[in-house]
């Protein structure tokens, strides 16, 4: 497998760009959502987890977190809000917890434990990635918060150190920090950066509802048991996926798109099946459920094809977002 930097157990090679600015009182960070171009799931393990072999792509659908210093000390003086600039529906935004259960609060407290003088904090989240949509939106929020708090409090942590902190919050957080393309093994936390120098083009179709990741995995286990299917422990991603990403060849990637969780997601939300078929009929090179769903990803040949496909899906009543990927991971924008 060709790679550009290797990571194991949430640890990455440090990147060269600086992660902090002089004397910031407010820092805004952008972090990407992700899709899974390939996702193979092993049997349920005794520890309650599943081993996976996945190819992650960071795509140009971003979350933003603005961290503003305020008076007080942590952990008590920390507040969270959701920006009116968010593009999700009011009903979806209303479901976001604004207390200590939100990953942004947990991420801030991890950095505060290391910072010499952590101050009170307000975190404003701008949501553009679907909630419980299989795109790692919450993980992107956490990754953005880690970078923002590191800059705000001058902790000077490397990307490797931030990724190690992020791994305590979930397997997708280190990838949101890293961005680009990566192979994920283990429970998704053993990441190896993959070569993907040329962005590929996709159309995302979010659902008006979310799917619980544990429920989707549990449904997969139930369907396998009912069908007498014995899943193998995944050990690697198919070589054809990596070759297509390395070549930036959408036509070559199309037949390799695969997601073991797709059957379970469609079982829980049968309406997804018709949308997948519709997108393919409208000219998508291939279609797949992203992660645990219910966001759908349609592979396009190029930018123009993605825009045309999004318009055609929009004409049929679907929200459709043209995106490209891979893109960079969490980074400061203000």
Report how far apart, in Å, the C-alpha atoms of 125 and of each of 30, 34, 49, 70, 140 are: 10, 18, 30, 16, 11
State the burial class of residue 99 (Cβ atoms within 10 Å of its Cβ: 0-12, 13-18, 19+). Answer: exposed
Residue 67 and residue 298: Cα distance in Å, rounded?
34
Q: For strand 331-332 and strand 258-259, is the pairing parallel, antiparallel, or unpaired?
A: unpaired
Instruction: Report whether 257 contacts 286 (CB < 8 A).
Output: yes
Instruction: Report whether 43 contacts 233 (CB < 8 A).
Output: yes
Of 28, 127, 150, 172, which is the active-site residue? 172
Of 28, 34, 127, 189, which is the active-site residue? 34
Report how far apart, in Å, the C-alpha atoms of 330 and of each of 29, 90, 265, 315 are: 7, 26, 28, 33
Instruction: Report whether 289 contacts 219 (CB < 8 A).
Output: no
34 annotated active-site: yes
Helix, strand, coil shares of the chain as percentages rounded to 5?
30, 30, 40
Residue 171 and residue 163: Cα distance in Å, rounded?
10
Report how far apart, in Å, the C-alpha atoms of 171 and of each of 113, 175, 186, 255 are: 21, 8, 10, 27
The candidate with the shortest Cα–Cα distance to 193, out of 176, 207, 205, 181, is 181
Instruction: Report whether 147 contacts 157 (CB < 8 A).
Output: no
77 annotated active-site: no
Residue 288 and residue 255: Cα distance in Å, rounded?
11
Active site residues: 34, 172
């Amino acid at each position: 497998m060709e790679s550009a930097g290797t990571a194991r157990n949430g640890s990455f090679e440090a990147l060269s760009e600086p992660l902090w600015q002089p004397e910031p009182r407010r820092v805004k960070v952008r972090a990407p959502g992700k899709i899974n171009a390939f996702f193979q799931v092993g049997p349920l393990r005794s520890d309650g987890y599943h081993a996976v072999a996945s190819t992650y792509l960071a795509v140009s659908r971003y979350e933003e977190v603005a961290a503003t210093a305020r008076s007080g000390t942590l952990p008590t003086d920390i507040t969270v809000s959701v920006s009116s600039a968010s593009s999700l529906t009011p009903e979806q935004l209303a479901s976001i917890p604004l207390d200590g259960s939100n990953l942004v609060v947990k991420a801030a407290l991890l950095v505060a434990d290391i910072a010499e003088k952590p101050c009170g904090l307000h975190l404003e989240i701008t949501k553009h990635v679907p909630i419980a949509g299989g795109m790692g939106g919450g993980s992107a929020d956490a990754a953005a918060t880690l970078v923002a708090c590191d800059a705000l409090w001058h902790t000077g942590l490397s990307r490797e150190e931030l990724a190690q902190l992020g791994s305590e919050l979930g397997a997708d957080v280190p990838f949101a920090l890293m961005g680009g393309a990566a192979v994920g093994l283990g429970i998704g936390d053993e990441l190896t950066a993959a070569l993907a120098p040329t962005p590929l083009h996709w159309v995302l179709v979010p659902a008006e509802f979310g799917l619980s990741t544990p429920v989707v995995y549990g449904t997969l286990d139930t369907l396998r048991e009912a069908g007498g299917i014995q899943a193998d422990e995944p050990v690697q991603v198919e070589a054809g996926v990596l070759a297509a990403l390395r070549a930036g060849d959408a036509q070559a990637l199309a037949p390799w798109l695969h997601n073991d969780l797709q059957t379970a997601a469609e079982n829980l939300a049968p309406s997804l099946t018709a949308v997948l078929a519709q997108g393919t009929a409208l000219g998508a090179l291939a279609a797949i459920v992203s992660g645990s769903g219910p966001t759908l990803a349609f592979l396009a040949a190029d930018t123009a094809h993605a825009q045309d496909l999004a318009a055609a899906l929009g004409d049929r009543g679907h929200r459709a977002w043209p995106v490209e990927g891979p893109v960079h991971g969490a980074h400061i924008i203000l």
